[in-house]
Amino acid sequence: MFDWDWAFTLEILPRLLEATLNTLIAAGAGYVIAVFLGLAFALAQRTPFRALTLGVREAVEFIRSTPLVLQIFFVFFVGPQFGVTLSPWTAGMIAIGLHYSAYLSEVYRGGIESVPKGQWEAAAALSLSTRDTYFRIIIPQALPPSLAGMGNYLVGIFKDTPMLSVIGVAELMHTANAIGSENYRYLEPYTMVGIIFLCISLPAAAMVRSFEAWVRRKLGLS
Amino acid sequence: MSYTEFLAEHGPRLLDGTLVTAAQFFLATALAIAVALVMGLMKLSDNWLLKGVSVVYIEIFRGTSLLVQLYWIFFVLPLFGVTLEKFTAGFVAVGMNLGAYGAELVRGGILAVPKGQWEAAYSLSMSPARRMWRIILPQALLNMLPAWGNLLIELLKGTALVALISVADLMFEARQVNSATYLSAQTFGTALIIYYVFSRFLITPFMRWLELVMRRKMGRA
Amino acid sequence: MEDLSRFPLRLEGPDAPMVRFDHVTKRYGDLVVLEDFCLDVAEGEMVTVIGPSGSGKTTVLRILMLERIQEGVIYVDGAPISHMEKKGRLVPASERYLRRAREPIGMCFQHFNLFPHMTAIQNCMEGPVQVLGLSRQDARERAEELLEMVGMIEKKDEHPSRLSGGQQQRVAIARALAMRPKVMLFDEVTSALDPEVIGEVTEVIRKLVHEHRLTMLMVTHQMGFAADISDRVCFFYGGRIEEQGTPEELFGNPQKERTQQFLSAVKSAG
């Protein structure tokens, strides 16, 4: 029915593992951008400036409801049209970071809204500054309910990195494509890519869950 | 070239692509719903074999990327004697992938139905199938509708990947126009706006409306 | 724009009250909760506000600590807190001014509102360290002293989720006191508690009344407790004070019909 070539598999494994490292770097870098930019988006939606709040809200909606792969093309190709050339890596990190910051801002927003009103009042009763109220009272409590979502999107960003192959970032999918077209064999490279993804994302998802439980215990919330 | 001229010249192509995207969206949605129901119910089954199959399915499709699955279905599956035409391979991959996420929603929605409802149905001597279909599923559906709204937007975004196996959808046509004109901002910008309008002004309002109708029907308005 | 020139910039002199509500109006949208409300609380005085729910009594505390008013001026310790002085005139207070002006006020809530991610002693140190700028050592000593006073020193390293309601409320009182307030607000602090632990909280408040010269404003449903420890009781009805007096006067010989109705309804409810 089909012939799985073990020798070929072993031969391409080092190349795939090297590309896995690139995939992890891309996911990590994109995530770091998303974590901070997402917080900025979430906090911007809580300012009293209505225009800013609505503008950011709409931008988040826009980013969330359009395809990441199209956004990657947009960032990569629009720059040169106006004389700014971005490397595939830079364009990819901007696109994927921006995309996930929209998702993370929603996670943070949900977390912040889950903190009871009484906590804001208690902070006000102690005359805490707005900054202290956010960073010492509200965010520490908004974090545990946000952790599950944050963790899921870390795994999510990892699973979306193959889209970076379309602009030539040398991650796993791109490497598998290259191997396939060099050797006219797609069975092993594509299957191995699937297995590598499973081997990373399943334990990662489990770790996210236990980390969340650990933080909750640590903060005395359960 | 002004934007109106751009639209006059390339708009029809993008529109053709949009129709293909819409077809991919509807077919993949139908498949995703079917897969979600079957796998979600199987995961709740007491039969370890059914449960095991659904767990493996869900974990594989949620644990790897849609793009990997799409390539695998299109390029590798033929080696097993199953050759799918690219249009079919496209919506099958998207539907099977999002169906795995939907299965978890089905499962969660069913588990959120209060225990008293199961007991009440049992006390009326309903068969398990009838109980599920008549009593539990309708309530579960209402529980999970808001989450399905988000899932369908993810599904629409997922269809953009079929362009990478040369299905002539909106994404594909946008790339074609871009490489012909190098007007990237206009081309990709227009495509982004079409996707946005699709999800924000068609999918979201439709799901809201559906929820309202369901709510009314079940006397929970 | 409201004419504020009739309000003094500061309250001075030996007769100046610790808290003054000067013709205050508070609205939520179209709903008027307080209208043209006036009340003075002298230094060291314990004033209790009673009344049916929805009468606006909790709002009296909330506008001191948490919310803005639409008309009138509120003074605390001589200075306006709802407004600030600018070029010899009163203008609505900025957020920053508001926060500073409210520093001499402490507040305890019906639902305690302890910070769940901090232990009892961390809750009590938060304000002194972050707002008053105390060293951690000084803040810790102050917190321990106060937790000792409310009888919670043994539980100082517990998180709120491990404490009973009565214990949480005692920690909340210590947390408010750690800011060394001149005015303390108690907003139905026993309403969310099981009957058997109400006593431990009222005991702490009683101790405060007897041993410290704190100005206190309390909203409560517990008439017996109010009668016991208040210098003055105000009966609230429809957004204003219907009747006020010493506990003996108000509970013993109420003059207004609404007061009599309310008190007899409360009495028959037990």
Among A2, A69, A81, beta carbon nearest to B160: A69
B69 touches A at CB < 8 Å? yes
- Hey, CA dihedral for A104, B95, B100, B211, is it positive or negative? positive
Please state, in angstroms and as integers, the Cα–Cα distance from residue B139 to each residue in B40, B41, B46, B217, following that order.
Answer: 15, 15, 21, 11
pLDDT single digits (tens) B101-127: 999 999 999 999 888 787 777 766 677
Hey, are the CB atoms on B178 and A159 less than 8 Å from each other? no
Residues A191, B79: Cα–Cα separation, whole Å: 12
Angle of helix A88-113 versus helix A50-64 axis, rounded to 10: 120
Give chain A positions within 8 Å (CB) of C119. 220
Residues A30, A97: Cα–Cα separation, whole Å: 4
Strand C240-245 with C232-237, pairing: antiparallel
B138 touches A at CB < 8 Å? no
Please state, in angstroms and as integers, the Cα–Cα distance from residue A72 to each residue in A22, A23, B20, B144, B184, following that order.
Answer: 17, 16, 21, 31, 12
- Hey, CA dihedral for C63, C68, C74, C79, is it positive or negative? positive
Hey, are the CB atoms on A197 and B81 less than 8 Å from each other? no
Q: Residues B41, B132: contact at Cβ < 8 Å? A: yes
| Residues whose CB falls within 8 Å of the CB of residue C166, separated by 6 or more in sequence, listed in order | C193, C194, C197, C198, C200, C201
Chains B, A in contact: 3+ Cβ pairs under 8 A? Answer: yes
- The pLDDT assigned to A1 comes to 47
| CA distance from start to end of chain C | 48
pLDDT single digits (tens) B200-211: 999 999 999 999
Where do the structural domains in chain B lie, given as residue ranges?
3-217
Q: C172: nearest CA in chain A?
A: A122
Output DSSP code: residue C47.
Answer: E
Beta-carbon count within 10 A of C214 CB: 19
| Residues whose CB falls within 8 Å of the CB of residue C66, separated by 6 or more in sequence, listed in order | A121, A124, A125, C107
Strand (E) or helix (H) holding C27: strand C19-28
- The pLDDT assigned to A221 comes to 67
Q: What is the DSSP string of C191-257?
A: TTS-HHHHHHHHHHHHHHHHHS--EEEEE-S-HHHHHHH-SEEEEEETTEEEEEE-HIIIIIS--SH
Write down the H helix ranges in C5-82. Answer: 57-65
| Residues whose CB falls within 8 Å of the CB of residue C6, separated by 6 or more in sequence, listed in order | none
The rounded average pLDDT for each run of 10 residues, N- to C-terminus, in chain A (222 residues) is 81 92 93 95 91 94 95 91 89 95 95 93 92 92 88 92 91 91 90 92 90 80 64
Q: Which of A24, A58, A62, A73 would best serve as a mutation to test chain B binding (most B beta carbons within 10 A)? A: A73
Chains C, B in contact: 3+ Cβ pairs under 8 A? Answer: no
Tokens read off for C202: 């009222």
pLDDT single digits (tens) B170-201: 999 999 999 998 889 999 999 999 999 999 99
Buried residues in C225-246 as b, exposed as e (16+ CB within 10 A): bbbebbebbbbbbebebbbbbe
pLDDT single digits (tens) A33-55: 999 999 999 999 998 889 999 99
The closest alpha carbon to C39, from C66, C18, C55, C58, belongs to: C18
The closest alpha carbon to B26, from B190, B206, B176, B187, belongs to: B206
The closest alpha carbon to C61, from A134, A137, A121, belongs to: A121
Where do the structural domains in chain A lie, given as residue ranges?
6-218
Q: Which of C94, C99, C105, C117 would best serve as a mutation to test chain A binding (most A beta carbons within 10 A)? A: C117
B88 touches A at CB < 8 Å? no
Give chain B positions within 8 Å (CB) of A205. 63
Phi, psi values for residue A116, rounded to 5°: -60, 150
Residues C222, C206: Cα–Cα separation, whole Å: 13
ipTM metric: 0.91
Residues A174, A176: Cα–Cα separation, whole Å: 5
Strand C19-28 with C31-41, pairing: antiparallel
The closest alpha carbon to C106, from A76, B178, A127, belongs to: A127
Hey, are the CB atoms on A125 and C65 less than 8 Å from each other? yes
Could you read off the pLDDT tens digit of each residue along chain C, which spans 270 residues?
Answer: 577 888 999 998 888 999 999 999 999 988 999 989 999 999 999 999 999 987 888 999 999 988 899 999 999 999 999 999 998 899 999 888 888 888 899 999 999 998 888 899 999 998 899 888 999 999 999 999 999 999 999 999 998 888 999 999 999 999 999 999 999 999 999 999 999 999 999 999 999 988 888 999 999 989 999 999 999 999 999 888 999 999 999 999 999 999 999 999 988 875
B55 touches A at CB < 8 Å? no
Residues C38, C47: Cα–Cα separation, whole Å: 14
Q: Residues A147, A212: contact at Cβ < 8 Å? A: yes
Please state, in angstroms and as integers, the Cα–Cα distance from residue B102 to each residue in A173, B1, B55, B96, following that order.
Answer: 25, 45, 13, 10
Hey, are the CB atoms on A124 and C66 less than 8 Å from each other? yes
Report CA Rg, chain A: 21
Q: What is the 3-state secondary structure (H, E, C) of chain A?
A: CCCCCHHHHHHHHHHHHHHHHHHHHHHHHHHHHHHHHHHHHHHHCCCCCHHHHHHHHHHHHHHHCCCHHHHHHHHHHHHHHCCCCCCHHHHHHHHHHHHHHHHHHHHHHHHHHCCCHHHHHHHHHCCCCHHHHHHHHHHHHHHHHHHHHHHHHHHHHHHHHHHHHHHCCCCHHHHHHHHHHHHCCCHHHHHHHHHHHHHHHHHHHHHHHHHHHHHHHHCCCC
Write down the H helix ranges in B44-136. Answer: 48-63, 66-71, 86-111, 115-123, 128-130
Among B65, B72, B156, beta carbon nearest to A160: B65
- Å from C223 to nearest chain A CA? 26
Tokens read off for B171: 């994404």
Res. B220 pLDDT band, cuts 50 70 90: low
Tokens read off for C221: 């449903």
Q: What is the 3-state secondary structure (H, E, C) of C85-110?
A: EECCEEEECCHHHHHHHCCCEEEECC
- Hey, CA dihedral for C251, C257, C261, C262, is it positive or negative? negative
Q: Residues B187, B181: contact at Cβ < 8 Å? A: yes
Q: What are C's interface residues with A at a Cβ cutoff of 8 A?
A: 65-66, 95, 99-100, 102-103, 105-107, 109, 111-117, 119, 126-127, 130-131, 159-162, 172, 175-176, 179
Classify burial at C175, counting beta carbons within 10 Å of its beta carbon; exposed 0-12, middle 13-18, buried 19 or more.
Answer: buried
Strand (E) or helix (H) holding B179: helix B170-181
Tokens read off for C245: 């007096």
Q: pTM for the whole thing? A: 0.81
Where do the structural domains in chain C lie, given as residue ranges?
116-180
Angle of helix A6-44 versus helix A172-183 axis, rounded to 10: 150
Residues in a beta bridge with C269: none
Residues C269, C251: Cα–Cα separation, whole Å: 16
Domain A6-218: CATH class, spelled out: mainly alpha
| Residues whose CB falls within 8 Å of the CB of residue A209, separated by 6 or more in sequence, listed in order | A148, A151
In 3-state terms, what secondary structure has residue C22?
strand
Beta-carbon count within 10 A of B93 CB: 29
- Hey, CA dihedral for A169, A170, A175, A178, is it positive or negative? positive
- The pLDDT assigned to A2 comes to 62
The torsion angle over the Cα atoms of residues B187, B193, B196 and B198, rounded to 10 degrees, is -90
Q: How many residues does chain B have?
A: 221
The torsion angle over the Cα atoms of residues B6, B12, B13 and B19, rounded to 10 degrees, is 140
- The pLDDT assigned to B219 comes to 64
What architecture is domain B3-217? Orthogonal Bundle (1.10)
Among A69, A71, A197, beta carbon nearest to B63: A197
- The pLDDT assigned to A196 comes to 93
Q: In what order do the strands lie in the sheet with C31-41?
A: C31-41, C19-28, C71-76, C79-80
Tokens read off for C111: 């639902």
- The pLDDT assigned to B33 comes to 97
- The pLDDT assigned to B221 comes to 52
